[in-house]
Structure 1
Amino acid sequence: MLIVYGIRNCDSVRKACKLLDEYCVDYNFHDYKKAGADESVLSDACERFGWDAVLNKRGTTWRKLDDETKASVTDQDHAIALMVRETSLIKRPLVLCGKQPLLGFNAVLWREILEKGEL
């Protein structure tokens, strides 16, 4: 079963879920705000994509962090610990199971993968 990790009110997540629904893909949604972030899932994502890609430094949550906290994120372990505490720092959506792992939403790429049946 495909699992889409994210935050329900995130625009990228909503677009991804809408596209999955359009292609009649069966999936479960894991809402970080309701269910939290699992350290092992984040570890897997960091191994696949790199912790610096999984940690979203472009959003307001990152910008609101104090400089000391930002400076403390020097490796994967520190990044995961911070993302578990601050789930809004995780790039969304995240899909790890299935044939093709995905991080973030790119409509063209997602459509291409869905049309090939590779998700």
Structure 2
Amino acid sequence: MIKMFGIKNCDTIKKARKWLEHHNVDYQFIDYRLDGLTAEQLSLFSQKLGWQNLLNSRGTTYRALPETTKTNLTETFALELMLQQPAMIKRPLLVHDNTYLLGFNIAQYQQLLDN
């Protein structure tokens, strides 16, 4: 089963969920805020995708960080921040078997379904 991780009220999540539902794809939605996220899950996501890719640097939560924090960000500290503030994780994150997709990209989603 496909798992989608994200935040329910995110516009990109809404688009991705609508696309999956339109294509009759069964999936489980895991809301970082409501369902939680473990350090182990986040560490695995980081291993598969890279912590820099996971970090939502366009979001208001990240932009509100002090400039010194952003400049000196390490993987360990970034993962701690993402656990504390899940809005700092890029969304959606789709997991199916051993495939991890970050963001909503129709071509990638279609390819995932075709495999």
TM tier relative to shorter chain: 0.7 to 0.9
Query: Kindly tell me: are residues 106 and 14 of structure 1, through their superposed partners in 2, closer, same or farther at Cα, counting changes over 3 Å?
Result: same
> How far apart, CA to CA, are the structure 2 residues paired with 1:112 and 1:93?
16
> How far apart, CA to CA, are the structure 1 residues paired with 2:35 and 2:70?
25
Letter in 2 for 1:106: N
- Identity of paired residues, percent? 40
Instruction: Report the structure, 1 or 2, having the larger helix content.
Output: 1
Give me the TM-score of the superposition, normalised by structure 1.
0.85
> How far apart, CA to CA, are the structure 2 residues paired with 1:29 and 1:100?
16
> How far apart, CA to CA, are the structure 2 residues paired with 1:40 and 1:20?
27
> How far apart, CA to CA, are the structure 1 residues paired with 2:23 and 2:41?
25
> How far apart, CA to CA, are the structure 1 residues paired with 2:7 and 2:30?
8
Query: Kindly tell me: are residues 35 and 68 of structure 1, through their superposed partners in 2, closer, same or farther at Cα, counting changes over 3 Å?
Result: farther
For residue 37 of structure 1, report the CA deviation from its aligned partner.
2.1
For residue 113 of structure 1, report the CA deviation from its aligned partner.
2.7
Question: Once the two structures are superposed, what CA deviation does each residue of 1:24-58 show, in whole Å capped at 9, x if it has no partner?
Answer: 11111111121222211111111111100001111
Corresponding residue number in structure 2 for 1:36? 36
User: Cα RMSD (Å) of the superposition?
Assistant: 1.6
**Residue aligned with 2:28, SS:** strand
**Residue aligned with 2:96, SS:** coil
> Mind listing any 5+ residue stretches in structure 2 that lack a counterpart?
none
* Alignment partner of 1:11 is 2:8: no
Find runs of 4+ consecutive structure 1 residues off by over 4 angstroms.
none
> Mind listing any 5+ residue stretches in structure 1 that lack a counterpart?
none
For residue 68 of structure 1, report the CA deviation from its aligned partner.
4.0
Give me the TM-score of the superposition, normalised by structure 2.
0.88
